[in-house]
Amino acid sequence: MATGLMHSNVSASFALACLLALLPVEARAQNFFEELFGIGRAAKPAPPPPPRNVPVQPPAGLPEPGPVPGEGAETRPSTPAPPRQPVVLKVPTEDNVAGQDLLLNGLNGSLKIEKAGGGYTAVMTLPGTKVSQPTEACSVKLNTGKPVPLTTEGRALGVSRFSTTAPECPLRLDVLEGSVLATSLGDKVCTFTAQDCATTPNGLWGPGAASLISQAGEFDTARGVADKAVRDNFKVMTQRARGGDLRPIVQEQAAFSSDREQACRTYAREGAHGYCHLRYTEARAIGLAARLGANVASPTAANTAPPRPRRPKPAVEGTNPDAPGGDPFFER
């Protein structure tokens, strides 16, 4: 047994010697002593294996992934959006035009509504052209210049409505803000044979153009509010329509723009102030809200909005157009 043990030790020593013989002399000596005394690289333990099943953290700044549908994620029914409600603009009162001198299309004729007891009267002068000479202008005083009693027709379309009792030229008068929209109840042209005068009183009776130019910016802002109210109320009406009711509504809305242009194209200097377009649009918005059953006595939107801020003029290199003596190039 001792002989076998000795033989195995000799074999191990011989194998180790062979391995050391393959290494350089210095490396063999160093490795030999490190292995012998347990120092240097031989003394460092092996690194532990990486842990398993550890969740990998996403990079900072990225949103965490949500639950995947169909894998246990909770599903909540979405809440339906509330139905649209009509937009109600402030309705003008009858008193807002009482005592004012109004002109047909801001140009000629005259209309003055006065409060008389519990009702209202109107004094009108209708402009027209001579029947015998259509190129010559004429005018006729309704009811020979005496006040004509106005009959109240309620607020069928949201605004106050009157009608005249003068048989020679019956009219319907819708009270707007600072103006009156007149519509003939008979023939479009009222003919006064004794005065040799044919008149067309249909249109907007309002202030003269000279008094409106300075307010053009305010009218433009208010027009944007009124246009939006018309669009919103039209959407509500189409949503509530059923079956064949939708087509007439769409046709009516499509005709509104052309009707407005037709009614306002003869208003004096309309392109400079836009007064007629504003009042016509407000009346349309209020009328739609009334047809939708809204309480027109309680407005939900103001007829006016804050004025739009003016944009500063771009600087021109080398010149200052607004300086004293400068040339206002952009205002030519």
pLDDT the model gives residue 324: 42
CA distances from 261 to 103, 213, 266 (A): 19, 19, 9
Q: Residue ranges of the domains in the chain?
A: 94-209, 213-291
Question: 73-87, 223-237, 241-255: which has the minimum mean pLDDT?
Answer: 73-87
pLDDT the model gives residue 217: 96
CA distance linking residue 32 with residue 90, whole number of Å: 104
Q: Which residue has the higher pLDDT, 323 or 52?
A: 52
Span 129-142, average pLDDT: 96
Provide the whole-model pTM: 0.68
Span 93-116, average pLDDT: 96
Asked whether 150 and 162 are in contact (CB, 8 A), the reply is yes
The model's confidence at residue 131, banded by pLDDT at 50, 70 and 90, is: very high
Phi and psi torsions of 234, nearest 5°:
-65, -40
Residue by residue, what is the 3-state secondary structure of the chain?
A: CHHHHHHHHHHHHHHHHHHHHHCCHHHHHHHHHHHHHCCHHHHCCCCCCCCCCCCCCCCCCCCCCCCCCCCCCCCCCCCCCCCCCCCCCCCCCHHHCECCCEEECCCEEEEEEEEECCEEEEEEEEEEEECCCCCCEEEEEHHHHCCEEEEECCCCCCCCEEEECCCCCCEEEEEECCEEEEEECCCCCEEECCCCEEECCCEEEECCHHHCHHHHHHHHHHHHHHHHHHHHHHHHHHHHCCHHHHHHHHHHHHHHHHHHHHHHCCCCCHHHHCHHHHHHHHHHHHHHHHHCCCCCCCCCCCCCCCCCCCCCCCCECCECCCCCCCCCHHHC
- Which residue, 283, 287, 288, is CA-closest to 237? 288
pLDDT at 247 over 50: yes
Q: Which two tokens stand for residue 130?
A: 């001579």
Phi and psi torsions of 129, nearest 5°:
-130, 155
Q: Which residues contact 175 (CB under 8 A, 6 or more apart)?
A: 92, 93, 94, 96, 97, 159, 160, 161, 162
Say if residue 20 is exposed, middle or buried (CB neighbours under 10 Å; 0-12, 13-18, 19+): middle
Q: Which residue has the higher pLDDT, 223 or 168?
A: 223
The number of beta carbons lying within 10 Å of the beta carbon of residue 218 is 16
pLDDT the model gives residue 65: 60
pLDDT the model gives residue 187: 86
Span 11-29, average pLDDT: 54
CA distance linking residue 119 with residue 95, whole number of Å: 11
Lookup result for tokens 């190039």: 329
pLDDT the model gives residue 303: 72
Q: Which residues contact 283 (CB under 8 A, 6 or more apart)?
A: 157, 158, 159, 174, 176, 181
pLDDT the model gives residue 132: 96
The model's confidence at residue 244, banded by pLDDT at 50, 70 and 90, is: confident
Q: CA 82 from chain center: how many Å?
A: 19
pLDDT in tens, 264-316: 999 999 999 999 999 999 999 999 999 999 998 889 887 765 545 545 545 54
pLDDT winner (highest mean) among 83-92, 165-174, 278-287:
278-287
Name the residue type at position 202. Answer: N
